């Protein structure tokens, strides 16, 4: 089963302690699609300006990403310029030029409307809600969000929560949205407002999956060198949703496995600029990293004294 | 097999968003001993002033903590006063009065010198080295340290590294000691200087155990309410060392199990002030939490598509 993603398609210019990249593929939809494409076919909905280097998207198309929903609008593409300091913990935004993205009005192509797995990447919650009115009856709808929408579109975001099955957000966003310092309480707050599953991403500190009855935790893979953290969250989401769409299995056990696939994809993407590593890794690399994750946390609970 | 701990025995006054505690049992040796006592007999070496409420130590003695090495010196006991803000992430020290602890010169009682498991809690590395000259031939020596010693006693700390089997320190201390931002590289740096095992504690973000050939990660238990984070690291160490001393098994598998026992103890101690929760929990509670940890990270690595 394919997965539909609606999000940003951007050009990023990034500076890290290890190098610089100019005008490379960026945006949530690109990262998500490149990641999910290892598991299943991807349908992408987004917008680019007339200046977007469409040839750079060819590797995505070649990997089974259907770009029929990628609108080309008159004007400039969305550009983000950022810098990471030595600790790589948080991006410093140097410049954001929304361009045509500021008028983005997602239009889901007819052939995408029957999508069973839908990821509403981080865009205006009003648009995320609008997308849901265009699709038929997905098996799983997940959304992401960010501090900007939590502040400026709170009522819409709460409406959205009532319409999605799952939300991914980082720990700071979870605390901001719920006004709960404790993540367990934050997750419960969200679970009471609609989503059956809450994925809280903690960057280098791993990710939690909360449901009403269970908590699952996957660490971030302890990498020896993190090159560029951009896109880790969307790559995580892509691996997670891609795995679910590929397997069609929404059991707790399989969703745990999906979190680990997501974590594996997050650990790959930060090894290089843009989606470079996502295009390089093989399904075997992913499988090996999933096994590494198992080894990382495995302990013998029967071992006694 | 019993475990020997050398460290501070203090009186803490703590303020958290949830309440206040005045002049309660504190200090690394107290936390360590209360935690380890669930697994094995503990030998404690430390110093208190003539004003220390010795009756408050009775519960420890009753749990098998041998206080023969607890010196009573003329003068004031070590007192620490601190406050945690809403996020509970870091203690703000309001006052430290070292008292008799500033002249602490650990003297290991004859009957403690054959200790096979030794924990050198966070004291001056010169004293930690001196303790090692007093014990016979321990099977495992572990040490803790802190930013103050990393700054002021770096050469001694490096000497100590060459004499211990294992070091526990938090992520900030590991970065400070090694001048490596990346924890994997920081661990390697330390492993090259003596210890065969490095335990890096990340507080609410869990703990890593690094050896030359492996990495193990245990999350912190996702508690719904953290009451007072004081002593979590020493309780972690107590559970870890206590389990090793109880089982006498230094295999990788058993050391992983020990990390989880340590994490369990760390998760209990923060549920109340001082060592209160460590005195309340049963071996069954600990075992149940170990199983909870297993459930928290368990995923089916064989699950395929």
Residue B290 lies in a domain: yes
Residue B118 lies in a domain: yes
Asked if the model's pLDDT at residue A128 lies above 80, the reply is yes
CA atoms within 13 A on the CB side of B132: 21
Name the minimum distance, in Å, from the CA of B72 to any CA of chain A: 35
Residue A218 and residue B299: Cβ atoms within 8 Å?
yes
Give yes or no for B180 touching A (CB within 8 A). Answer: no
Asked if the model's pLDDT at residue A303 lies above 90, the reply is no
Residues of B in contact with A305 (CB under 8 A): 39, 243, 246-247
Asked if the model's pLDDT at residue A154 lies above 70, the reply is yes
Give yes or no for A172 touching B (CB within 8 A). Answer: no
| Beta-carbon contacts of residue B129 (< 8 Å; ≥ 6 apart) | B156, B159, B160, B163
Residue A206 and residue B208: Cβ atoms within 8 Å?
no
CATH of residue B13's domain is 3.40.1190.20
Q: Which of residues 242-301 of B touch A (CB under 8 A)?
A: 243, 246-247, 253-254, 256-257, 259-260, 290-291, 293-301
Residue A300 and residue B253: Cβ atoms within 8 Å?
yes
Q: What is the pLDDT of residue A302?
A: 83
Contact A195, A165 (CB under 8 A): yes
Q: Which of residues 130-169 of B touch A (CB under 8 A)?
A: none
Helix axes B283-297, B252-269, angle to 10 degrees: 110
Contact A122, A144 (CB under 8 A): yes
- Kindly report the pTM of this predicted structure: 0.95
Q: How confident is the model at residue B85 (pLDDT cuts 50, 70, 90)?
A: confident
Residue B222 and residue A217: Cβ atoms within 8 Å?
yes
Q: Which of B88, B218, B303 is facing A253, going by the closest CB pair? A: B303
Q: What is the pLDDT of residue A105?
A: 96
Q: How far is CA A253 from CA A216, A263, B300, in A?
A: 10, 16, 7
Q: What b/e readout covers A210-227, taking b as 16+ CB neighbours within 10 angstroms?
A: bbeeebbbbbbbbeeebb
Q: How confident is the model at residue B280 (pLDDT cuts 50, 70, 90)?
A: very high
Q: Is residue B165 helix, strand or coil?
A: coil
| Beta-carbon contacts of residue B93 (< 8 Å; ≥ 6 apart) | B80, B81, B82
More confident residue, B91 or B121: B121
Tell me the mean pLDDT in the region B135-155. Answer: 97
Q: How confident is the model at residue B116 (pLDDT cuts 50, 70, 90)?
A: very high
**Sign of the alpha-carbon torsion through B223, B226, B227, B231:** positive
Q: Which of residues 38-97 of A touch B (CB under 8 A)?
A: 39, 86-88
Domain carrying residue A206: 3-297
Q: How confident is the model at residue B296 (pLDDT cuts 50, 70, 90)?
A: very high
Q: What is the pLDDT of residue A305?
A: 58
Residues of B in contact with A39 (CB under 8 A): 305
Q: Searching chain B, which residue's CA lies closest to the CA of residue A171? A: B205
Q: What is the pLDDT of residue A301?
A: 85
Range with the poorest average pLDDT among A58-62, A259-263, B14-18, B282-286: B14-18
Residue B234 lies in a domain: yes
Q: What's the CA gap between A55 and A45, in Å, rounded?
A: 17
Structure confidence by residue, pLDDT tens digits, B18-59: 899 999 999 999 999 999 999 999 999 999 999 999 999 999
Residue B300 and residue A223: Cβ atoms within 8 Å?
no
Asked if the model's pLDDT at residue A195 lies above 70, the reply is yes
Q: Which of A219, A254, A299 is facing B206, going by the closest CB pair? A: A219
Q: Which of A181, A218, A223 is facing B86, going by the closest CB pair? A: A181
Name the minimum distance, in Å, from the CA of A15 to any CA of chain B: 17
Q: Which of B87, B182, B256 is facing A224, going by the closest CB pair? A: B182
Q: What is the pLDDT of residue A17?
A: 87
Structure confidence by residue, pLDDT tens digits, B186-236: 999 999 999 999 999 999 999 999 999 999 999 999 999 889 999 999 999
Residue A305 lies in a domain: no
Q: Searching chain A, which residue's CA lies closest to the CA of residue B257? A: A299
Residue A7 lies in a domain: yes
Give yes or no for B302 touching A (CB within 8 A). Answer: no
Tell me the mean pLDDT in the region A166-183. Answer: 96
Residue B224 and residue A182: Cβ atoms within 8 Å?
yes
Q: What's the CA gap between A90 and A271, in Å, rounded?
A: 16
Rounded to 5°, the CA angle B266-A295-A36 comes to 110
Structure confidence by residue, pLDDT tens digits, A202-217: 999 999 999 999 999 9
Rounded to 5°, the CA angle B61-B63-B65 comes to 50
Structure confidence by residue, pLDDT tens digits, A65-98: 999 999 999 999 999 999 998 777 778 999 999 9
Residue B291 and residue A300: Cβ atoms within 8 Å?
no
Q: What is the pLDDT of residue B2?
A: 94
Tell the residue number behind the tokens 């200090």, with chain if given. B27
Q: How confident is the model at residue B303 (pLDDT cuts 50, 70, 90)?
A: confident
Tell me the mean pLDDT in the region A183-197. Answer: 97
pLDDT above 70 as % of chain A: 100
- Which of the 8 DSSP states describes residue B122? S
Name the minimum distance, in Å, from the CA of B23 to any CA of chain A: 27
Q: Which of B205, B226, B305 is facing A246, going by the closest CB pair? A: B305
Tell the residue number behind the tokens 């797995």, with chain if given. A117
Contact A23, A262 (CB under 8 A): no
* Entry field: residues in chain B: 305
Q: Which residues pair with A259 in a beta bridge?
A: none
Residues of A in contact with B88 (CB under 8 A): 181
Q: What is the pLDDT of residue B286?
A: 97
Name the minimum distance, in Å, from the CA of A299 to any CA of chain B: 6
Q: Which of residues 2-41 of A touch B (CB under 8 A)?
A: 39
CA atoms within 13 A on the CB side of B128: 28
Q: What is the pLDDT of residue B109?
A: 98
Contact pairs from chain A to chain B, CB under 8 Å = 108
Q: What is the pLDDT of residue B213?
A: 95
Q: What is the pLDDT of residue B56?
A: 96
Interface test with A, best of B217, B220, B300 (most A CBs within 10 A): B217
Residue B278 lies in a domain: yes
Q: What's the CA gap between B80 and B27, in Å, rounded?
A: 9
Q: What's the CA gap between B249 and A43, in Å, rounded?
A: 53
Q: What is the pLDDT of residue B305?
A: 58
Q: Which residues pair with B141 in a beta bridge?
A: B118
Asked if the model's pLDDT at residue A31 lies above 90, the reply is yes
Q: How confident is the model at residue B89 (pLDDT cuts 50, 70, 90)?
A: confident
Residue B302 lies in a domain: no
Q: What's the CA gap between A128 and A194, in Å, rounded?
A: 15
Contact B243, B261 (CB under 8 A): yes
ipTM for the predicted complex comes to 0.93
Residue A304 lies in a domain: no
The token duo for A38 is: 């290892």
Residue B181 and residue A86: Cβ atoms within 8 Å?
yes
Total domains, chain A: 1
B166, B140, B107, B143: which is closest to B40 by C-alpha? B140
Residues of B in contact with A296 (CB under 8 A): 215-217
Which residue blocks in chain A are alpha helix, DSSP H? 28-36, 58-62, 125-134, 147-152, 154-161, 171-178, 183-191, 232-247, 252-269, 276-280, 283-297
Residue A298 and residue B256: Cβ atoms within 8 Å?
yes
DSSP assignment of B25-73: EESHHHHHHHHHTTTS-EEEEEEEETT--GGGGHHHHHTTEEEEEEEEE
């Amino acid at each position: 089963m394919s997965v539909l993603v609606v999000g940003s398609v951007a050009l990023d210019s990034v500076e890290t302690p290890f190098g610089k990249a100019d005008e490379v593929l960026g945006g949530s939809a690109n990262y998500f699609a490149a990641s999910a494409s290892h598991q299943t076919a991807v349908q992408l909905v987004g917008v680019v300006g007339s200046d977007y280097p469409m040839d750079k998207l060819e590797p995505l198309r070649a990997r089974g990403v259907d770009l029929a929903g990628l609108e080309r609008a008159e004007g400039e593409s969305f550009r983000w310029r950022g810098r990471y300091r030595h600790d790589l913990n948080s991006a410093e935004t140097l410049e954001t030029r929304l361009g045509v993205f500021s008028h983005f009005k997602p239009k889901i192509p007819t052939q995408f409307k029957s999508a069973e797995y839908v990821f509403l990447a981080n865009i205006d919650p009003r648009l995320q809600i609008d997308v849901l009115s265009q699709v038929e009856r997905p098996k799983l709808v997940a959304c992401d969000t960010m501090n900007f929408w939590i502040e400026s579109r709170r009522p819409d975001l709460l409406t959205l929560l009532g319409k999605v099955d799952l939300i991914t957000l980082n720990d700071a966003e979870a605390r901001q949205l719920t006004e709960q310092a404790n993540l367990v309480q934050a997750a419960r707050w969200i679970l009471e407002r609609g989503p059956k599953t809450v994925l809280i991403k903690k960057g280098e500190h791993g990710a939690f999956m909360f449901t009403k009855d269970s908590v699952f935790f996957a660490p971030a893979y302890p990498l020896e060198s993190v090159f560029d953290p951009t896109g880790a969250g969307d790559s995580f989401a892509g691996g997670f949703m891609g795995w679910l769409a590929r397997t069609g299995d929404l059991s707790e056990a399989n969703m745990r496995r999906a979190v680990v696939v997501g974590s594996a994809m997050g650990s790959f993407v930060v090894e290089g600029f843009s989606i470079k590593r996502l295009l390089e890794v093989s399904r075997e690399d992913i499988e090996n990293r999933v096994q590494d994750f198992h080894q990382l946390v495995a302990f013998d609970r029967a071992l006694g004294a």
